[in-house]
Structure formats: structure tokens, C-alpha cells
């Protein structure tokens, strides 16, 4: 059990060595006790309209679309998509520990809504895509702050704080990309 924990913590912190990551370790994924309400809040961050699943797929699509003409932006989108996948894993494990199956759906207002591929902003050109990526990070930060306010479990609050640090870093990186390519002189 101890060995398994050690391995998990090791792989957990491999993510901070990626070039686009913040070099700050992630806390261990744990919860005080099962709680369905907290799981429902986190399912929104996991697979709602503004969610890690949407961010992963949006940035991955933009990565492919930027590859030919903007290799630096393509690399940024790919790297951030992978960090969002790590957020998805932490949220999914937390939702499972809270007692709910982390399928890609929300359960808010007693309705099951599966994640939908049209949540992704596919875009048509460089600057509308980057603007959508900036907006996605801002919306994610606002949702995480709101959920942090509603959740009393200190382990989850700490994990959300660390994820917010990443999203603020992503916001900075996307804003810098916009300033470089999209602001008329
Ligand atoms: Fe994220
Ligand atoms: Fe992000």
C-alpha cells in the first residue's frame, strides 16, 4: 500500500516538469468522507459545459489547427491540454472518493446531462480561438472559486486552490499569445 502511494505521488508530480507547467507540487487526492453534493459540484468542473473535458478537447483541436502555421502556439495548446487532462484525473478520483461514478456527465438539478462535443469552441481563425481559450480559463477560475466557497472539505479546497494556480498560469500564457499575435500595432 505504501509502495503504491509512493508511485502515485511520483507520477502525480511528473506533470510539474512539463515546460508549460507551474513547478509547484500537487497535493494528495483525498477527501474527509463521501459527499454527493460535493461530487455534483465537481462533476460540473469535470464534464460540464465549462470543464476540464471541454478544455482538453478545445486545446487539442486548436493544437491540430495551429500546427502548420503557428508551431509555437500548437505546442502551447498541446502542453496545456495535457495539464488539463491531469486536472481531469484529480477531479475524477475525488468524485469517486466522494461516492459517485465519474462518468462524463453532470447530475445538477436531478438531471443527467452527458458531456457534448459542441461545448468545444472550434473557431475559424487564430484570434477567435485564442480569445475563446482566454475566456475558457477565466470561466474555469470563476467556477472553481465558487465551488471552493461551497465545499467545506479542506482536502478538496486545497486541491482546487492548486488547480486555480494552474488556470491562472494558463490565462497568462494565452493572454501573452494574444498580445503577440492579435493586438494591432
Ligand atoms: Fe484545468
Ligand atoms: Fe487551464
- Residue-wise pLDDT tens digits, 30-43: 999 999 999 999 99
> In b/e form, how buried is each residue of 19-28, taking b as 16+ CB within 10 angstroms?
ebbbeeebbe
pLDDT of 183 > 60? The answer is yes
Distance 107 CA to ligand 1 centre (A): 20
Q: What is the pLDDT at residue 9? A: 57
Looking at domain 28-181, which CATH architecture does it have? Up-down Bundle (1.20)
* 143 pLDDT above the threshold of 50: yes
Report how far ligand 1's centroid is from the alpha carbon of 84 (Å): 4
pLDDT at 130 over 90: yes
Average pLDDT of the residues in 13-22: 85
Distance 162 CA to ligand 1 centre (A): 10
Ligand 1 centre and the CA of 62: distance in Å?
16
> All 3 cell numbers of residue 139?
470561466
State yes or no: pLDDT of 10 exceeds 70. Answer: no
Residues with CB under 5 A from ligand 2 (ion): 167, 170
Count other C-beta atoms under 10 Å from residue 167's C-beta: 24
CA of 53 to the centre of ligand 1 (A): 9
Per-residue confidence (pLDDT) for residue 1, from 0 to 100: 39
pLDDT of residue 12: 66
Q: Is the pLDDT of residue 11 over 70?
A: no
Ligand 1 centroid vs 163 CA: distance in angstroms?
Answer: 6
Compute the C-alpha angle 153/157/159, nearest 5°. 120
In sequence order, what DSSP letters do the residues of 4-21 get, joined into one string?
A: HHHHHHHHHHHGGGSTTS
Q: Residue 86 and residue 80: Cα distance in Å, rounded?
A: 10
**Whole-structure pTM value:** 0.93
Residue 15 in this model has a pLDDT that exceeds 80: no
Q: What is the pLDDT of residue 158?
A: 98
**pLDDT (mean) for 81-102:** 98
Query: What pLDDT was estimated at residue 6?
Result: 42
Tell me the average pLDDT across 41-48. Answer: 98
Residue with the bigger pLDDT between 55 and 108: it is 55
Query: 185 CA distance to ligand 1 centroid (A)?
Result: 32
Ligand located closest to 160 CA: 1
Residue 59: pLDDT band with limits 50, 70, 90? very high
Write down the H helix ranges in 24-70.
36-47, 52-66
In the reported structure, the alpha carbon of residue 34 is separated from the centroid of ligand 2 by a whole-number distance in angstroms of 27
Amino acid at each position: 500500500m505504501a509502495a503504491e502511494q509512493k508511485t502515485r505521488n511520483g507520477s502525480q508530480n511528473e506533470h510539474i516538469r512539463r515546460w508549460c507547467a507551474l513547478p509547484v507540487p500537487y497535493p494528495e487526492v483525498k477527501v474527509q468522507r463521501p459527499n454527493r453534493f460535493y461530487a455534483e459540484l465537481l462533476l460540473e468542473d469535470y464534464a460540464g459545459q465549462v470543464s476540464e473535458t471541454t478544455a482538453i478537447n478545445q486545446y487539442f483541436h486548436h493544437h491540430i489547427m495551429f500546427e502548420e502555421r503557428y508551431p509555437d502556439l500548437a505546442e502551447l495548446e498541446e502542453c496545456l491540454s495535457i495539464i488539463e487532462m491531469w486536472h481531469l484525473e484529480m477531479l475524477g478520483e475525488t468524485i469517486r472518493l466522494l461516492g459517485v461514478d465519474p462518468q462524463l456527465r453532470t447530475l445538477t438539478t436531478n438531471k443527467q446531462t452527458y458531456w457534448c462535443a459542441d461545448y468545444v469552441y472550434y473557431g475559424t481563425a487564430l484570434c477567435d480561438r485564442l480569445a475563446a481559450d482566454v475566456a475558457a480559463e477565466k470561466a474555469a477560475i470563476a467556477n472553481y472559486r465558487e465551488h471552493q466557497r461551497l465545499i467545506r472539505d479542506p482536502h478538496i479546497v486545497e486541491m482546487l486552490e492548486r488547480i486555480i494556480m494552474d488556470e491562472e498560469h494558463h490565462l497568462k500564457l494565452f493572454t501573452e499569445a494574444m498580445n503577440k499575435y492579435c493586438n494591432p500595432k
